[in-house]
Amino acid sequence: MKSNLDYHLDTTRISKSGLDLIQKSPAHYFERYLSGRHQEKSSKALEIGSAVHAAVLEPELFAETYGVLPEVDRRTKAGKEAFEAFLEANPNKAFLSASDFQQCLALAESVKSHSKASKLLETGIAEQTIIWDDLATGAPCKARPDFVTQRMGSTFIVDLKTTEDASPRGFSRSAYKYRYHVQAAFYLDGYEQAHGITPEAFIFVAVEKTPPYLVACYIYGPEELNLARETYRANLATYLECRNSNSWPGYPEVINPLELPNY
């Protein structure tokens, strides 16, 4: 089984994040995955996102991997030394501030208390890499579903999203912005091709990052998924074209009319 790191290092296949960059411009994709210049920047939001995923999807891994940073004054020499000694004593752990740690636990607890989300995440396989060649374009693809569960003879892919706003209106906006519909279609088709099993649905479990950490579950319908399918196949076709020609263009070098946004 591929580790999360192996999954991200494999540039012979394209992921949903890669498709997003191709959509922006092939030059962005090249810079991120193929140039060798990209350095992963860690941000607090990303770190908390990973920790929440572990706390919800793999609680045992969370307990093993994450700890609370000691409360020392790192502006003083003694504080710095104590802090460094602490990190040396715990080399394989990731640390969060006490408040971030509590936030992760609260989010996980909230998901557990949601009747549908908790059932969906009760039993299944977390973070398993799937690879396939797209049927229509032949493009080599990869995905790493958060969670796959079987219930009453059906397979469901479950994706956990931390969000500012899990309300139908709020989540619909961020889902469109981050192209979650493309992710749903890409993962559903990929899973079917990789395992020969058609998942019944791709279900988003959206959990708000702030109290009361409300949870909501969503699916896209066939119309949105069919539209997303067309979109990702167009992205895959562009990706293949760029790969075959080894040409990764940026934005068109023309003068474009600028539109005002629709809001």
Partner 1 sequence: MSEKETTQELATDLAPLSITNFEHAQRVAKALSSSNLIPQNYQGNIPNTLVALEMANRIGASPLMVMQNLHVIHGRPSWSSSFIIAALNSCGRFSALKFVTDKAGCKAVATELATGELIEGPIVTLEMANAEGWATKAGSKWRTMPELMLRYRAAAFFGRLYAPDILMGMQTAEEAADVVSVKKETIAEDLNSKI
Residues of this chain that interact with partner 1 (CB under 8 A) are 116, 119-120, 135, 151-154, 156, 185, 188-189, 192, 196, 198-201, 203, 219-226, 229
Looking at residue 88, its amino acid is: E
Sign (positive or negative) of CA dihedral 60, 167, 230, 120: positive
Residue 36 and residue 15: Cα distance in Å, rounded? Answer: 18
Nearer to partner 1, 10 or 224 (CB): 224
Residue 214 and residue 31: Cα distance in Å, rounded? Answer: 37
Residue 205 and residue 110: Cα distance in Å, rounded? Answer: 11
Nearer to partner 1, 40 or 223 (CB): 223
- State the nearest-atom distance from the C-beta of 159 to partner 1, in Å: 15
CB proximity list for 215: less than 8 A, separation 6 or greater: 110, 111, 113, 114, 117, 166, 205, 206, 207, 208
- State the nearest-atom distance from the C-beta of 37 to partner 1, in Å: 37
- State the nearest-atom distance from the C-beta of 8 to partner 1, in Å: 27
Residue 26 and residue 141: Cα distance in Å, rounded? Answer: 16
Nearer to partner 1, 47 or 200 (CB): 200
Nearer to partner 1, 81 or 122 (CB): 122
- State the nearest-atom distance from the C-beta of 219 to partner 1, in Å: 6
- State the nearest-atom distance from the C-beta of 188 to partner 1, in Å: 6
- Our CA angle for 76, 81, 86, nearest 5°, is 125
Q: Which residue bears the tokens 């009453």?
A: 152
Sign (positive or negative) of CA dihedral 212, 167, 107, 151: positive
- State the nearest-atom distance from the C-beta of 32 to partner 1, in Å: 28
